[in-house]
Amino acid sequence: MAKVITMGEIMLRLSTPGFQKFIQSDSFDVNYGGGEANVAVSLANYGHKAYFVSKVPNNPIGECAVAALRKYNVNCDHVAKGGERLGIYYLETGASMRASNVVYDRAHSSIAEAQEKDFDFDAIFDGADWFHFTGITPAVSDKAAELTELALKAAKAKGITVSVDLNFRKKLWSSEKAQKVMSNLMQYVDVCIGNEEDAEKVLGFKPSGTNVTSGELELAGYEDIFKQMIDKFGFKYVISSLRESYSASDNGWSACIYDGKEFYHSKKYEVRIVDRVGGGDSFAAGLICGLVEGKDMKASLEFAVAASALKHTIPGDFNLVSRSDVEALVGGDASGRVQR
């Protein structure tokens, strides 16, 4: 099994019960999650040696966040302690034509104020096979963006494969700043993952004939921008998840991949959504799992799409399915029959 490093912020998630709006709720359900942490949990569930790198406050809430990861066999030896607070996000889950809503409360979190001295990147990347980060971490603060580049330089110095999930968050930074920061970081990236909005807002590439809001997809437009992205940044693979948003409750879910020679579109799943937060992270983790194990890009993509389709049915940020669960769906078992 591979050693995979992820680095980013883990947050306290406070979500309204059921489908209540914020103003209705007298309590919150408590979970922990964050882009790179979610990826680490998935990879650990698939049997890989998953390491999460971050900084959390040295208090009981920080300890709870780390414990939430250790519960699922994620190695947290490189999680630094200190800083003011753990970031929080509030989630109001939508339904039908009402969209979900996220409110961030993460300014001055521990990872946002972290510095190079908090981490020994030479030790962190020793013996690692893969490093994954997202566009969320550099968006948290200028310090976090600098820390991300230091980690990337250390990973590439050791010849480690690097993947990014572009993950544009308009509530954290503007498209203009995202393009300035992320375009620089792409020089270290081998595998680029995103969706149509990420490609446009983070790197300035817009697939023709595709509408994010309506979910209208035009695959030829994706192949065209994938070619442009590889020409500009030298990626080995470019991948996009494809979400057809019929409503907040029902989505079509598939993905496409391009390696500079061949373009491939996966099987599509019709998903009834329980919780879509973490869906993209579960997709990234499934893709990493396949590629790091030496599977071809088609098999890796099908595993990733199936894994993320299953995640949409699970409450919380983490995708808690097993490898066998994903393989069963890839093999065509989508019956949902009770397993006795």
At residue 77, the 3 state secondary structure works out as coil
Instruction: Output the CA torsion sign for 91, 96, 98, 99.
Output: positive
Strand partners, 15: 29, 91
Is the pTM for the entire model greater than 0.85?
Answer: yes
Contact partners, residue 94, CB within 8 Å, separation at least 6: 19, 100, 101, 248
pLDDT digits (tens, 9 = 90+) for 247-265: 999 999 999 999 999 999 9
Q: What is the mean pLDDT of each run of 10 residues along the chain (340 residues)?
A: 97 96 96 97 98 98 98 98 97 93 95 97 97 97 98 98 96 96 98 92 82 66 92 97 92 96 96 94 98 98 98 96 96 74
